[in-house]
């Protein structure tokens, strides 16, 4: 047999490669750093991948595929799992017939996110097995294990990655994966298993706990644990990227590396901890492992609270081991990102700033409208929040202030979770009316120019059905719908806003002009396809 | 072969080709038979903010990130990014700054990233053929000539 091919791949590419090797029939997701490249690369390698309007829908589509007996993967960033949490929790009860792997890409340190929530908590809360790779080889191997666990116990499995695992390139050997040949999808009726009315859900919850108990037993000796017997004076327990930092910070120590971090191989950990003099847990983010081990009466040392914030690195692990809580040197202050010169969003924030608007903002490139010279954004919470927050402000502020409130949302964000906000606006209109601006630059620019239902093109840029925002607004019964095509004249926008803001009406203004970078991308695509 | 891990940080601004340069370096080291890890934070690089990328290679590399103050080489593409990044260098580490390549030496300043790699290549135990293979693998064919020339210019800028 030939030696397996060796490649230098990012964790995301390694997942995509494994997904192809495993015969994953469908990959779904919504873009979000650091997860985005998984589906793009899966598609580039010939896999069937599609962007959904948001993570909840993506999860449901993948679940349907797995109900049909196929292998499916759904990818998202950590906050995406909040959006998809509703189907996730009950999918743990229904289980799956094929395989379902949920990739959660967490962002400790918030390189490109609005919070640094630790999604290991979701595995516990939903009751789903969780694997944590620490480099690209494991990202590749663990997808195989995730599929195998998913098929053996008929449960969705969470593959929890972090920014450094997703985006670092390390060597991958494309060796055989843990799973068998993919099944042929077909439908088998199983009402009690998939229709979660209380009568069926109660036994389903018990079934879930039984499966988890079985997986915990299996996990005690599974090859997902690596034990390195080094110096008995110091034993380190770690998973994910923290393991790599720890191996470098404490060469020669004893290690217990956990690949399966829910359910935990508690007895294996207990033996390890008992066999070393000082047992320290090295983990990024929340003290998830420390809390679980202490609850199981395993005495371990955790990290000082200051290391909960941000990413770990070799130096921080050294400090944790030295119990050093002295202030850390500030990281170098780089130059912050800015809206590109000539970005279509600029004119909008210049205008809103000039008019003294109270801007309920949202997430995307346009969030940079908060920085100088614009400083024209007053809130940004989560995708879609601009519309609800704007309405709430309009409801309670004194009239003169209320009339200054506008909601600003990008096109991809609008499709993701702004549509229900418009429905709310029609249903509970503030007395002073409201104005929503969609900044339609024809792409999901922030995460690297992905398509979405408003662009009318698929993940791999082929034409498909398109959601037309103005038609949607008309159908909802919004009285003032305005489309500003190729807006280059600030005066036109200013005039319109001055008229709409105090009008007492409900208004949607669509500012439509393509992101600068899509023009270049589209030219490259056209050239590549020879048209 | 050198068994100690070599730490390189490449820094600049979004759009300058920092990540392309670190991809090429990591690939060249990989082709030369080293264990390699490469890491960076990306996601918003198109908007002109600071970008930096770590490449580490040696017999066995663990963390993908160069610990602060432990870089052996710092390659900087933008003059205003030299001072902010200097603290990553270890004492005695080598700075390769953009002014190593004079203003009008390159036919196109866009290939500064590759020219500085040429300069860096003089200091690393990676054979030139691996560099050239990596360059060809990571750049579209129509850019090969210009970049191979830029690489050679960078190599010449460092005394052997
Ligand atoms: C729940 C969730 N999913 C994904 C993301 C990542 N993300 C932030 S904004 C955004 C979309 C940006 O696109 P758009 O609204 O069109 O604005 P643009 O960047 O194009 O200006 C994405 C995918 C997120 N922050 N939260
Ligand atoms: S990438 Fe596009 S949307 Fe983002 S700042 Fe640049 S031009 Fe504007």
Which one of the ligands is nearest to A56 CA? 1
Q: What is the pTM of this model?
A: 0.97
Q: Where does A85-191 show beta strands of DSSP type E? A: 99-106, 130-131, 157-162, 169-173
For chain B positions 102-131, those within 8 Å of chain A (CB to CB) are: none
Contact A332 B48 (CB under 8 A): no
Instruction: Determine contact: B26 vs chain A, CB below 8 A.
Output: yes
* Separation CA A125–CA B27 (nearest Å): 41
Q: Is A339 in the pocket of ligand 1 (CB under 6 A)?
A: no
pLDDT at A526: 82
* Separation CA A393–CA A425 (nearest Å): 12
Please answer whether residues A153 and A210 qualify as being in contact, where contact means their C-beta atoms are separated by less than 8 angstroms: no
pLDDT at B2: 54
Contact A164 B46 (CB under 8 A): no
**What are B85-125's pLDDT values in tens digits?**
999 999 999 999 999 998 888 988 899 999 999 999 999 99
Which of A329, A334, A339 has the CB atom closest to B50's CB atom?
A334
- Mutation target among A321, A334, A441 for the B interface, most CBs of B within 10 A: A334
Chain B residues near residue A248 by CB distance under 8 angstroms: 62-63, 67
Chain B residues near residue A33 by CB distance under 8 angstroms: 42-44
From A33, A340, A341, give the residue whose CB has the most ligand 2 atoms within 8 Å, as the site to mutate. A340
pLDDT at A379: 98
CATH topology of domain A345-529: Rossmann fold (3.40.50)
Looking at CA atoms only, how far is residue B132 from chain A in angstroms?
17
DSSP, res A353: H
Which of B62, B80, B85 has the CB atom closest to A248's CB atom?
B62
The minimum-distance atom of ligand 2 relative to the CA of A515 is 2
Contact B63 A314 (CB under 8 A): yes
Which one of the ligands is nearest to A340 CA? 2
Is the ipTM of this structure higher than 0.90? yes
Please answer whether residues A448 and A31 qualify as being in contact, where contact means their C-beta atoms are separated by less than 8 angstroms: yes
Which one of the ligands is nearest to A342 CA? 2
Please answer whether residues A313 and A343 qualify as being in contact, where contact means their C-beta atoms are separated by less than 8 angstroms: no
Distance between Cα A184 and ligand 1 center (Å): 35
Distance between Cα A364 and ligand 1 center (Å): 5
Please answer whether residues A169 and A6 qualify as being in contact, where contact means their C-beta atoms are separated by less than 8 angstroms: no
Which one of the ligands is nearest to A364 CA? 1
pLDDT at A525: 82
* Separation CA B37–CA B20 (nearest Å): 15
Q: Provide the residue ranges of all domains of chain B, joining segments of one domain with +.
A: 6-155
Q: Helix-strand-coil percent breakdown of chain A, rounded to 5?
A: 40, 20, 40
Domain B6-155 has CATH 3.10.20.310: no
Question: In the sheet that A358-360 helps form, which strands lie side by side, from edge to edge?
Answer: A358-360, A405-410, A434-440, A506-512, A480-485
CA nearest A234: which of A219, A220, A247, A245?
A247
* Separation CA A489–CA B141 (nearest Å): 41
pLDDT at A337: 85
Which of B13, B39, B43 has the CB atom closest to A112's CB atom?
B43
Which residues of chain A are at the B interface, by a Cβ-Cβ cutoff of 8 Å? 8, 33-34, 111-112, 135, 163-164, 167-171, 241, 244-245, 247-248, 313-315, 329, 331-340, 365, 368, 445-448, 517
Which tokens go with B45? 């690089």
Distance between Cα A486 and ligand 2 center (Å): 15
pLDDT at A528: 76
Q: Which chain B residue is nearest to residue A517, measuring alpha carbons? A: B46
Per-residue pLDDT of chain A (531 residues; tens, 9 = 90+): 578 999 999 999 999 999 999 999 999 999 999 999 999 999 999 999 999 999 999 999 999 999 999 999 999 999 999 999 999 999 999 999 999 999 999 999 998 899 999 999 999 999 999 999 999 999 999 999 999 999 999 999 999 999 999 999 999 999 999 878 898 999 999 999 999 999 999 999 999 999 999 999 999 999 999 999 999 999 999 999 999 999 999 999 999 999 999 999 999 999 999 999 999 999 999 999 999 999 999 999 999 999 999 999 999 999 999 999 999 988 777 888 889 999 999 999 999 999 999 999 999 999 999 999 999 999 999 999 999 999 999 999 999 999 999 999 999 999 999 999 999 999 999 999 999 999 999 999 999 999 999 999 999 999 999 999 999 999 999 999 999 999 888 999 999 999 999 999 999 999 999 999 998 888 888 887 765
Q: Is A117 in the pocket of ligand 1 (CB under 6 A)?
A: no
Could you identify the residue written with the tokens 């379902």? A100
From A29, A32, A56, give the residue whose CB has the most ligand 1 atoms within 8 Å, as the site to mutate. A32
Q: Are strands A6-10 and A169-173 parallel, antiparallel or unpaired?
A: antiparallel
pLDDT at A167: 97
* Separation CA A412–CA A439 (nearest Å): 9
* Separation CA B84–CA A123 (nearest Å): 40
User: What's the CATH code, domain A6-219?
Assistant: 3.40.50.970
Which of B43, B50, B81 has the CB atom closest to A34's CB atom?
B43
Q: Is A10 in the pocket of ligand 1 (CB under 6 A)?
A: no
DSSP, res A97: S
* Separation CA A456–CA A447 (nearest Å): 18
* Separation CA A165–CA A144 (nearest Å): 17
pLDDT at A211: 98
Distance between Cα A339 and ligand 2 center (Å): 6
* Separation CA B119–CA B132 (nearest Å): 14
Cα angle: A66, vertex A70, A74; to 5 degrees: 55
Contact A335 B38 (CB under 8 A): no
User: What's the CATH code, domain A225-321?
Assistant: 3.40.50.920
Q: Provide the residue ranges of all domains of chain A, joining segments of one domain with +.
A: 6-219, 225-321, 345-529
Distance between Cα A412 and ligand 1 center (Å): 6
Q: Is A511 in the pocket of ligand 2 (CB under 6 A)?
A: no
> What ranges in A159-286 are assigned the alpha helix state H?
163-167, 191-194, 198-221, 240-249, 266-274
pLDDT at B45: 45
Looking at CA atoms only, how far is residue B37 from chain A in angstroms?
5
Looking at CA atoms only, how far is residue A243 from chain B in angstroms?
8
Looking at CA atoms only, how far is residue A14 from chain B in angstroms?
14
pLDDT at B113: 97
């Amino acid at each position: 047999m030939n030696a397996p091919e060796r490649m230098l791949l990012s964790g995301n590419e390694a997942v995509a490669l494994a997904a192809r090797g495993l015969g994953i029939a469908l990959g779904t997701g919504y873009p979000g750093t650091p997860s985005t490249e998984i589906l793009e690369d899966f598609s580039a390698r010939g896999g069937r991948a599609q962007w959904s309007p948001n993570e909840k829908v993506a999860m449901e589509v993948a679940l349907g595929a797995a109900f049909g007996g196929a292998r499916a993967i759904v990818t998202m960033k950590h906050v995406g799992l909040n959006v998809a949490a509703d189907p996730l929790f009950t999918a743990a009860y229904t289980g799956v017939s094929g395989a379902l792997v949920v990739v959660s890409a967490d962002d400790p340190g918030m390189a490109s996110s609005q919070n640094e929530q630790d999604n290991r908590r979701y595995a516990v809360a939903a009751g789903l097995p969780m694997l944590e790779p620490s480099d690209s080889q494991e990202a590749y191997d663990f997808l195989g294990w995730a599929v195998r666990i998913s098929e053996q116990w008929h449960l969705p499995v969470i593959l929890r990655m972090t920014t450094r695992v997703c985006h670092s390139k390390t060597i991958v050997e494309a060796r055989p994966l843990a799973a068998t040949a993919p099944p042929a999808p077909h439908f088998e009726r199983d009402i009690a298993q998939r229709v979660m009315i209380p009568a069926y859900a109660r036994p389903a919850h018990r079934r879930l706990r039984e499966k988890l108990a079985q997986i915990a037993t299996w996990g005690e000796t599974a090859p997902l644990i690596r034990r390195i017997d080094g110096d008995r004076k110091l034993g380190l327990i770690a998973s994910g990227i923290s393991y790599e930092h720890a191996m470098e910070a404490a060469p020669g120590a004893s290690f217990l590396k956990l690949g399966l971090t829910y359910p935990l191989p508690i007895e294996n950990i207990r033996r390890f901890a008992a066999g070393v003099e000082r047992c320290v847990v090295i983990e990024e983010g929340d003290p998830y492992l420390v809390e679980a081990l202490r609850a199981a009466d395993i005495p371990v040392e955790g990290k000082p609270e200051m290391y909960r914030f941000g990413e770990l690195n070799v130096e921080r692990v050294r400090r944790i081991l030295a119990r050093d809580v002295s202030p850390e040197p500030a990281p170098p202050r780089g130059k912050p990102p800015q809206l590109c010169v000539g970005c279509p969003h600029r004119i909008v924030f210049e205008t809103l700033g000039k008019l003294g608007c109270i801007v309920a903002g949202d997430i995307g490139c346009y969030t940079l409208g908060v920085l100088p010279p614009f400083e024209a954004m007053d809130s940004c919470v989560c995708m879609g929040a601009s519309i609800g927050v704007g309405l709430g402000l309009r409801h309670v502020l004194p009239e003169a202030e209320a009339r200054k409130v506008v909601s600003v949302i990008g096109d991809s964000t609008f499709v993701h979770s702004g549509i229900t906000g418009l429905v709310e606006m029609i249903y509970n209109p503030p007395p002073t009316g409201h104005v929503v601006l969609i900044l339609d630059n024809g792409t999901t620019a922030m995460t690297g120019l992905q398509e979405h239902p408003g662009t009318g093109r698929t993940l791999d840029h082929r034409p498909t059905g398109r959601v037309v925002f103005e038609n949607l607004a008309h159908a909802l019964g919004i009285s003032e719908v305005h489309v500003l095509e190729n807006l280059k004249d600030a005066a036109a926008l200013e005039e319109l806003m001055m008229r709409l803001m105090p009008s007492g009406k409900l208004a949607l203004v669509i500012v439509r002009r393509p992101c600068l970078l899509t023009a270049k991308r589209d030219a490259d695509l056209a050239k590549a396809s020879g048209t | 072969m050198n068994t100690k891990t070599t730490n390189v940080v490449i820094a600049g601004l979004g759009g300058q080709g920092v990540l392309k340069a670190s991809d090429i370096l990591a690939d060249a080291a990989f082709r030369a038979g080293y264990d390699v890890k490469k890491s960076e934070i990306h996601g918003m690089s198109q908007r002109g903010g600071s970008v930096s990328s770590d490449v580490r290679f040696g017999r066995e590399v663990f963390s993908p990130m160069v610990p602060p103050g432990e870089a052996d080489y710092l390659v900087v593409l933008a003059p205003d990014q030299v001072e902010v990044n200097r603290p990553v260098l270890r004492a005695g580490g080598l700075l390769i700054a953009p002014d190593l390549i004079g203003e009008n030496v390159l036919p196109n300043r866009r290939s500064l990233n590759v020219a500085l790699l040429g300069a860096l290549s003089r200091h690393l135990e990676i054979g030139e053929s691996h560099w050239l293979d990596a360059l060809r693998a990571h750049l579209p064919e129509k850019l090969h000539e210009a970049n191979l020339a830029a690489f050679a210019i960078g190599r010449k800028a460092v005394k052997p």
